[in-house]
Amino acid sequence: MKQLKSVLFASAALTLAALPAQAQNMPKRIGYVTNYATHEWYQNVIKGMQARAKELGIQFEVQDANLDIAKQVAAAEDFMAKGVDVLIVTPVNEEGVVPLLRQAKSNDTPVVLEGNPVKGMTTMVAICDYDTGYFSGVEAGKYAKEKLGGTAKVMNVGLPLLSATVLRSQGFMDGLKTIVPEAVMVHDLDGGGNPDRALEVSAAALAKNADINIIYGINDSSSLGGLQAWKAAGKSQDALLTVGTGGEGLAFINAMEKEPSYRIEAAMFPEKEGYTAIDAAVKLFNGEEVPEHIVSPTAPMIGEDWKKFYDYDASTRSIKWDAVNALKAPEKCMKTAADLK
C-alpha cells in the first residue's frame, strides 16, 4: 500500500508537470457509471480514476450498471439528479446510451465516455482495440516463425457481443498475417468473455481440430479458459502459443509465470485509461477542446515484460506510472467500430 502511494506521488508530479501551466477550475464532483464493476478490468479503471481524482481533489463516485442497460440509464439519471459536474460512462452497449447523452445534454452535464464510442458523443477515452490485437498478432507471428515452425492455426476465443472485442480478434489475425501470411482462424468461438463458458466451448473446438497451435483470447478470462481446455484435454503445451488480451488483473501474471505456452499478453493498462478519463473530464468541465477519441496506450508484453509495468506481491499488483505514462499512444486507431459495418 505504501509503495502504491509513493508511486502515485511520483506519477502525480510527473503528470502535473506535463499539464499546461494554465489555472484550471476543478469540477467538484465526478460520477462514473461503469459497465460491470465486478470485472477486474473495470476495477482497475476505477482504481486509476480514484487515484487521479484524489490527486486533483475531486469528489469521485461510482455506480455499477452490472451489465444491465436499464440500470445504467437509471444510475446516470440518479447522478444527474444529484448534480454531478461531469459524468463518465462506460456504455453497456454502444447504441443503448444515445438517449442518455441526449438527457445529459439537456441537463448541461458534460459526458466522457470510456471504452465504447456512441453516436453524438463529445469525447471518448479508449484504447485502440484493433491496434492492440494487431501488434500482439505481429508478436505472435514472430513467435510462430521462430518456435512453431511457421504454422499458425488459431482458435479465437472471441466475444461477438461487443465491437471492441471483435476488432481485437480481427487485428490479431491481420497482424499475424503480416508475418505468417498463411495463418488461418480455424475456430471462431463465442466464449462469452467468461472463463467457464470459454473453457466449455474451447473443449469442443479443440476436440474437433487437433491441429490448433495458437489460442487467442479477447480477454484474459477467454485465453485462460481456452488454455485450461487445452490442459484438460491432456495436451502438452510444447507446440502451443497462448495470447491473452487486457492484462486486467492478476490472472495473466500468474499465467505468464506458470504456463509455458502463455507467452504474449496484449496489455491495455486499465489504470491508465481511468487516469486519462478523469483528465478528460476536467478538460470538458473547463470547456476546453478535446479530440473525439482520446487514445489510451496499449503494448504487447512478451515473457517477462510485465515486470516493467507492474509490481506484484502475490496478492495485489500496482502499476508503475512512470513506465506506463512514458508509453506513446497513437493519435488515431487503424480501424474502429465504424469500419466493422
Partner 1 sequence: MSHTSMTAAPDKAESSFFARLLKRQEMALFLCLVLVIAFFSFTAENFLSVRNMTNVFGQASLALTAGIGCAIVFISGEVDISIGALLATIALPLILIMNGTESLVLGIGGALLFGLIIGIVNGYLTAYAGINSLIVTLGMMFILRGGVYLYTGQRAIPDDAALDSFIALSDGRLFGVIPYSAIIAFGLLLIFAYMMQHRPFGRQIYAVGGNPEVARLAGYDVRRVKFTCFIISSLLATVAGIILAARVGSAQHTAGLNFEFQVVAATVLGGVSLAGGIGSLTGMALGVLILQFLSNGLRGLGLPTEWQLVITGIIIIAAVAFDEAKRRRAIGG
Partner 2 sequence: MSEIVHPSPARRLAGGRLLGSSQLVLAVILAALCIAISLAAPQFYSEANVIAILRQCALVLIVASGMTMLIITAEVDLSVGASLAFVGCIGMAVLNATHSLTLGILASLAFAGGVGLVNGLVVTRLKVNSLIGTIGMMMMLQGGVYLFTREAVQNHHQLSSFTGLGAGYVGPIPMPVIFAAAIFIIAYVTLRFTTLGRYLYAVGANEKAVRLSGLRSERLKLLAFVVTGLCVGIAGMILASLMNAGQPTAGRGFELTVIAAVILGGTSLLGGRGSLFGTLLGVLVLKVIDNGIIILGWNQDLQMVVPGVVIILASYLDIVRNKANVR
Report the interface residues with partner 2, using CB under 8 A.
Answer: 38-40, 43, 187, 189-190, 194-197, 199-201, 203-210, 221, 224-225, 228-229, 231-234, 249-251, 254, 258, 314
Residue showing cell 507492474: 310
Measured distance CA(96)–CA(42) in Å, rounded: 19
Q: Is 69 in the site for partner 1 (CB under 8 A)?
A: yes
Contacts of 129 (CB under 8 A, 6+ apart): 164, 165, 167, 168, 171, 333
DSSP state of 264: E
Task: Please tell me the number of Cα atoms within 13 Å of 102 on its side-chain side.
Answer: 6
Q: Return the beta strands (E) in the chain as ranges.
A: 29-34, 59-64, 86-89, 111-114, 123-126, 153-158, 184-190, 214-217, 241-246, 262-267, 293-295, 299-302, 310-312, 317-319
Which one of partner 1, partner 2, none is in contact with 17 (Cβ closer than 5 to 8 A by kind)?
none
Q: Is 74 in the site for partner 1 (CB under 8 A)?
A: yes
Q: Is 194 in the site for partner 1 (CB under 8 A)?
A: no
Q: Is 63 in the site for partner 1 (CB under 8 A)?
A: yes
Provide the minimum distance between the beta carbon of 102 and partner 1 in the complex, in angstroms, as a whole number. 6
For 86, left (φ over 0), alpha (ψ -120 to 50), or beta?
beta
Residue 58 or 201 having the CB closest to partner 2: 201
- List 30, 51, 64, 127, residue binding partner 1 (CB under 8 A): 64
Provide the minimum distance between the beta carbon of 252 and partner 2 in the complex, in angstroms, as a whole number. 10
Which one of partner 2, partner 1, none is in contact with 26 (Cβ closer than 5 to 8 A by kind)?
none
- Nearest CA to 142 out of 134, 130, 150 is that of 150
Residue 118 or 214 having the CB closest to partner 1: 118
- Nearest CA to 165 out of 143, 191, 201 is that of 191
- List 4, 12, 98, 327, residue binding partner 1 (CB under 8 A): 98
SS3 54: helix
- List 4, 7, 161, 302, residue binding partner 1 (CB under 8 A): 161
Residue 36 or 312 having the CB closest to partner 1: 36
Say what angle helices 195-208 and 220-232 make with each other, to 10 degrees.
50
Provide the minimum distance between the beta carbon of 186 and partner 2 in the complex, in angstroms, as a whole number. 10
Which one of partner 1, partner 2, none is in contact with 205 (Cβ closer than 5 to 8 A by kind)?
partner 2
Measured distance CA(162)–CA(218) in Å, rounded: 10
Q: Is 106 in the site for partner 1 (CB under 8 A)?
A: yes
Task: Please tell me the number of Cα atoms within 13 Å of 213 on its side-chain side.
Answer: 17
Which one of partner 1, partner 2, none is in contact with 1 (Cβ closer than 5 to 8 A by kind)?
none
The footprint of partner 1 (CB under 8 A) covers: 37-38, 61-64, 66-70, 73-75, 77-78, 80-83, 92-100, 102-103, 106, 119, 160-161, 163, 190
